[in-house]
Amino acid sequence: MEAMQGGQIGLVLQQAKAPLIVPLLKLVVVLCLGMSVMLFVEKVYMGIVITLIKLFRRKPEKKWKWEAVKDDVELGNSAYPMVLVQIPMYNEKEVYQLSIGAACGLSWPSDRIIIQVLDDSTDPATKDLVELEVQRWASKGININYEIRGNRNGYKAGALKEGMKHSYVKQCDYVAIFDADFQPEPDFLWRTIPFLIHNPEVALVQTRWKFVNSDECLMTRIQEMSLDYHFTVEQEVGSATHAFFGFNGTAGVWRIAALNDAGGWKDRTTVEDMDLAVRASLGGWKFVYLSDVKVKNELPSTFKAYRYQQHRWSCGPANLFRKMVMEIVRNKKVSPMKKFHVIYSFFFVRKIVAHIVTFVFYCIILPATVLVPEVQVPIWGAVYIPSIITLLNAVGTPRSLHLMIFWILFENVMSLHRTKATFIGLFEAGRVNEWVVTEKLGDALKTKSGGKAARRPRSRIGERLHMLELIVGFYLFFCGCYDLAFGKNGYFIFLFIQSIAFFIAGVGYVGTFVPNS
């Protein structure tokens, strides 16, 4: 009976193949090739621009008016602008001392800086520790305030918005924002504030991230490759061409007048930083990116933390695009070219197409053509374009060029979650407003294991199994076996290797395993 049913299913599929499956697959292949070309053109354009920037050494100090802040005998310290430093945190037991200590170590006249610790912690023990740390620095003469609220409405955006309501903020001209694991160098304000003082049209000065734990494991090395490309190419190109680049949510300084002019912090998506940046840009404000100013921070080194972070970073922009696309189109303050850049280049290609084409084309459609040999993918779409895109992505981190294969395989695995999150954001589905704070380990690993994290399985297998990765892994493995046995494409080598990557992620053997306390 079962054999008959299996034969009937096979017959139905065979009959549907020519009139339905083949035309549909051909259409999807054409769409994926079109998206690949869009991404390829975007990467090549940015590659050309960044090459010209490096050749002509166009530093921000040459493009913008910049002059060091100097003492004024008559005015004294009042010649210096008042700066607010905000540190939003939530149960940051492992890193709160690092961020508060770094903020309190910023070099600036002591009576012209206010540090604000915005603690949304729900763990009473952590709250007590943070408050004690604030009191310790206050006893040393630091102007530091510990602020809490009775709820977590709006998450980080809500905390920042609430922080701006305090009366002492009214005297401040600029606000520097640092997440709980960020450690600015003492000269951070001396190097950033002059851009805001001497260029009244500048709303934001964004600096680069420097990763203190990039060598923790292979996963952090791969993250470094992706983020280095973002900072060395995407942010640099956006700043140099005066087109648009996003606020990274931390390690940046805002002109408070510009922040208010843009409508302040909004919690309508999980990317409140990007939301604010887009609104400020549409208001005609300019941004400056400083690649030479680096702020130390921590990469998520557990697979669970990284998945949550990537969900937020992929879902939020897609949802913001849905909410703002018509607002951008109707805007009258910026040029049509800038609007086109924000809608097409920044949002559509980088935040939507890049995620979807990576997973759908390389992990679903390309393997499917093995099962349907009537559909062919041209070699330029299957090999040449992705190879060039990969090489252009890798230039940001030359020290990791030998890890390029691992980067490709892992990025394809993560594209599964990014694609899912992108569709959730576009259609405002279930987890659209999910906000899980990225877990930071700080010095916890060194304390617990005397060095790098011990690599041992967690006690519950269920916590380590990821069914989506396993399902895609089996699909790729099946397609690889079919190609090896019956196909002519020669994709089986890629399919087998990629399936192994999905299996490894599927059983949770990725990143750092934190020893049980």
Paired sense of beta strands 252-255 and 202-211, if any:
antiparallel
Per the structure block, which two tokens stand in for 515? 């020893």
User: What separation in angstroms does the CA of 203 have from each of 85, 191, 333?
Assistant: 16, 15, 15
Helical H segments across 183-333, by residue range: 188-198, 218-229, 235-240, 256-261, 272-282, 303-330
10 exposure class (CB count in 10 Å sphere: 0-12, 13-18, 19+): exposed
Residue with tokens 């399919």: 495
> Which are the contacts of 392, defined by CB distance < 8 A and separation ≥ 6?
43, 44, 46, 47
**Which residues does the annotation mark as catalytic?**
120, 273
**In this structure, what token pair is assigned to residue 307?**
């998945």
C-alpha span between 228 and 237 (Å, rounded): 13
Identify residue 450 by its one-letter amino acid code.
Answer: G
- Distance set, CA 197 to CA 112, 191, 225 (Å): 14, 11, 34
* The residue type at 69: V
Angle of helix 492-506 relative to helix 404-427, nearest 10 degrees?
A: 70
Element (H, E) at 30: helix 22-56
